[in-house]
Amino acid sequence: MKIRFLFLLLVFCTCCFAQDTVYVTINDSIENSKEKHLFSLASLSLPVRANPNSGSTNEYNNQNNNSWYIPDGINAHAGYGIHYNKWIGISANAGIDWKISDKLIAVPVYALLTLNPTVDNNVSILIQGGLGQAFAIGRGDLSGTYKKARLGIMNDGEFSFFVDISTYGFDLKSEPMGSISIGVAMFNFL
């Protein structure tokens, strides 16, 4: 009799303490925790060129021209791609580049590889390399292999300042076309 009583007490205690168990039924919705690895980017930059009048004096108002570089147009680019943990990514990009001194408007279409290693909590280094095709507008069938290298600093994973070097892969007036630009870029990790 004592054994039966202990057995019933054990079953009763097991049932009392087992009420904290949570069961998921088929009617409960389970959220899909798939992360999206997409991003978009937009950049705006100013190509610069050496100032031919650097160090000279203006004869009309006797002011010295001390600037070494002067703006030479404007570049606007946009792209869409995939990334892994905001650290490495690849994107398809297109843009329009306007160079005033050469009277050139070029449209590059290229793939861009992005490396973004983190230096501090909110700061990372932006390293990008691109390869594609550049087309000159209003110059017949003038086109060439477009190459781009970019180095910059990214803040908070969205906004960056950069310097980039681009070559268009074609000659204009027997000179190879390219530019050195300073600009800003906005990233949107979707």
Q: Is residue 12 part of a domain?
A: no
Q: Is residue 23 part of a domain?
A: no
- Does residue 21 register a pLDDT over 90? no
Which whole number is the average pLDDT over 66-77? 86
Question: How does residue 101 score in pLDDT terms, banded at 50, 70 and 90?
Answer: confident
The predicted structure's pLDDT at residue 180 = 93
The predicted structure's pLDDT at residue 158 = 85
């650097």: which residue's tokens? 54
Which whole number is the average pLDDT over 20-47? 73
Q: Is residue 55 part of a domain?
A: no
Q: Is residue 30 part of a domain?
A: no
170-179 LR contacts (CB < 8 Å, sep 24+): 170/134, 170/136, 170/142, 170/143, 170/144, 172/102, 172/104, 172/136, 172/139, 172/142, 173/102, 177/99, 177/102, 177/104, 177/106, 177/144, 179/47, 179/72, 179/73, 179/75, 179/97, 179/99
pLDDT higher for 1 or 48?
A: 48
187 beta partners: 41
| Domain boundaries, position 151 | 43-50+63-189
Q: Is residue 13 part of a domain?
A: no
State pLDDT tens for residues 107-121: 999 999 999 998 888
- Does residue 61 register a pLDDT over 90? no
Question: Total domain count for the chain?
Answer: 1
Q: Is residue 2 part of a domain?
A: no
pTM comes to: 0.74
The predicted structure's pLDDT at residue 107 = 96
Q: Is residue 19 part of a domain?
A: no
CB neighbours of residue 1 within 10 Å: 5
State pLDDT tens for residues 169-184: 998 888 888 999 999 9
Buried/exposed code over 127-139 (b: 16+ C-beta within 10 A; e: otherwise): ebebebebbbeee
Q: Is residue 145 part of a domain?
A: yes
The predicted structure's pLDDT at residue 71 = 87
Q: What is the CATH number of the domain that holds 91?
A: 2.40.160.20
State pLDDT tens for residues 119-172: 888 899 999 999 999 999 988 889 999 999 999 999 876 899 999 999 999 988
The predicted structure's pLDDT at residue 50 = 80
